[in-house]
Structure 1
Amino acid sequence: MKPYHAPAWLPGGHAQTIWPKLIRQAPIKLRRERWDTPDGDFIDVDWVDGPPRSSLLVLFHGLEGSSASHYALSTAHACRKAGWRLALPHFRGCSGELNRRPRAYHSGDAEEIDWILHHLHTAHGGRPLHAAGVSLGGNALLKWAGERGAAAGELVTGVAALCAPLDLAACGHHLARGFNRVYTQYFLKTLKAVSAARLRQFPGLFDEARMLAAINLHQFDDAVTAPVHGFAGADDYWQRASAKPWLKSIAIPAVAVNPKNDPFLPATYLPSAADVSPQVRLEQPAGGGHVGFVSGTFPGNLDWLPQRLLHFFLYETS
């Protein structure tokens, strides 16, 4: 498959990040399942159905994403056309309903990834499935693959990550500067609303005043994400949850696609061949933005990302 090249009519990482949200896609009907978790909570999984023994792709969404995210919709259309089944799990609190337990989700949530993949593996008749993740979901998936090593191959044929924030400290601090603060405020709006609702369920879970006063992701993660999920603070969370240190331990086919103009992660922090195992393929195109990958003539389409996923799992994991 040809490497990604951004169209000349859509220059720059910010435009390539924002424009995909404005591209209209046909609606697609998804079937929802609710799974009870081992700790008494639940997650919702949206499905594109297909023949029982057809390939199954699982796609983990990004921060505050869902099955309605533009990349999820384009992947759903591509899977339906290809005759694949698609599972779109929602991290806790991202499916439109508050979860039952105090925990939510975070960038290094390999434990949740593992539980979901085991559940899907069983539902898929014990056959390996294809696993992909976007942004936060890609970071958590790569970290899971690195932690599990060769054992990951018992569940999946390989892993693909698109625009994973592999170095969370670099990403978090970069999003606090310049125009990037627009993205930060976009995330904080929903993160704070959901966190406030969770605090009403579980009084004293974290410091509400610090949460409301947060103006960047470091302050929010220090006030909410870290204490809720057992980290000493934002710095501890960002260090321990980053996937980059785990890339050398991945023992199954993997691809990490990170545009060099991604506004979320400066190119200077992207991994090199020396940072990864021989099983990991690094693709770092000049353009693409953050989960943009617009292609074609104006107004563009969102075909490249799902086609990259299908091509990887069809031809690059055997």
Structure 2
Amino acid sequence: MPVLEPSYKVPFLFKNGFVATVYSGLFRRVKGVVQERERMTLSDGDFLDLDWSFSKEKTNKLIILLHGLEGDGHRPYMLGAAKVFNTNGVDAVCVNFRGCSGEDNLKLRSYHSGATDDLNEVIQHIQANGKYSSMYLKGISLGANLILKYLGERDSVPKELKAAISVSVPCDLNGSSKELHKIKNLPYAIRFLKHLKGRLKTKMEKFPQAITAEAYNKIKTLKDFDEVYTSKVHGFKDALDYYQQCSGLQFIPNIKTPTLIINALNDSFLSPECFPVKEAKAQDNIYLEMPNHGGHVGFIDKKNIYYNERRALEFCSKF
């Protein structure tokens, strides 16, 4: 499809991408979403926690929401989307990736940008109850990349899956990694690394033979973390191999499900390769919006409903 013209009009105070990103991550609050937690057992014996919220009216529609790096089902960008869909007749389920629901998962492995095996199990689990004839996917950042990979790596998806939305998606993981290691993103990189290393410490206590103290002490950057832990534990040769195999960009040409990608041009996490203009123009099922503003998941709009949330509802309503 041709690249779409975004209609996002950013409030003046949030034209700066850093301000929009930080405000949205640290200060936004979403009230009024009542969630019910379901623990789902995975095929390898591990678990995922699913946080459900429901429309007041009976519905056969469901939005499946996927969070970003070190996020969870209670983040404002998850609750905001759930609230918008719930108030418009669609149930929502916020998926907490392995170890992200407040309790460490059971296995040495965790979540990562390409762990579509877990996403596939979630979709099959929901399919099995037979309640929903129309399902939609919406992912943020890491979760958005997962969606592109999931949709494009297989020949077919469940017939119930009608549309998808990927927001602030680092679809070229190597390029995005390089951006995150630049001075402009140092505050984010430090914050992410602190959380990831803390999680890894817990893993080392449970699995003392898996990661040595010497290897752990070598982790100084996010790429080091992927080199020492993410790649090795999840079956990749090294960090670069992980980035190459899991980047959603390469899977876009094979996506058959209508998919909306919203990436802000002032998103400091994204490299030029993360704006798939060529791929969108060549693919009838890809709809690409590139607002000038919005930072990383910072599409602040009126009444605490973010632009990407409104657009996701509009997009899903067509299918």
- TM-score bucket (shorter structure): over 0.9
Map 1:176-191 to 2 at 5 A: 176-191=181-196
Distance change in 2, residues 1:79/1:181 (3 Å): same
CA distance in 2, matches of 1:139, 1:4: 22
Q: Spell out, residue by residue over 1:35-59, the C-alpha distance to the aligned partner (whole angstroms, 9 max, x if none).
A: 1111001100001023453311100
Q: Which of 68, 73, 89 lines up with 2:79 in the alignment?
A: 73
**Matched AA of 2:196:** L
CA distance in 2, matches of 1:206, 1:49: 41
**For the Cα contact (< 8 Å) 2:84–2:305, is it kept in 1?**
no
TM-score, normalised with respect to structure 2: 0.92
- Corresponding residue SS for 1:305: helix
Distance change in 2, residues 1:27/1:216 (3 Å): farther
- Corresponding residue SS for 1:152: coil
Q: Spell out, residue by residue over 1:172-220, the C-alpha distance to the aligned partner (whole angstroms, 9 max, x if none).
A: 1110111201111111111111111011111222234333442221111
Map 1:1-318 to 2 at 5 A: 3-20=7-24, 21-50=26-55, 51-125=57-131, 127-149=133-155, 151-267=156-272, 269-274=274-279, 277-296=283-302, 301-315=304-318, 317=319
Q: Report the Cα offset of residue 15 of structure 1.
A: 1.0
Count of residues paired in the alignment: 312
**For the Cα contact (< 8 Å) 1:259–1:286, is it kept in 2?**
yes
CA distance in 2, matches of 1:55, 1:85: 6
Q: Report the Cα offset of residue 11 of structure 1.
A: 2.1
State the Cα RMSD in Å: 1.8
CA distance in 1, matches of 2:69, 2:248: 15
**For the Cα contact (< 8 Å) 1:59–1:89, is it kept in 2?**
yes
**Matched AA of 2:89:** G
Q: Report the Cα offset of residue 125 of structure 1.
A: 3.1
- Corresponding residue SS for 2:245: helix
Distance change in 2, residues 1:184/1:2 (3 Å): closer
CA distance in 1, matches of 2:138, 2:255: 14
**Matched AA of 2:255:** I
TM-score, normalised with respect to structure 1: 0.92
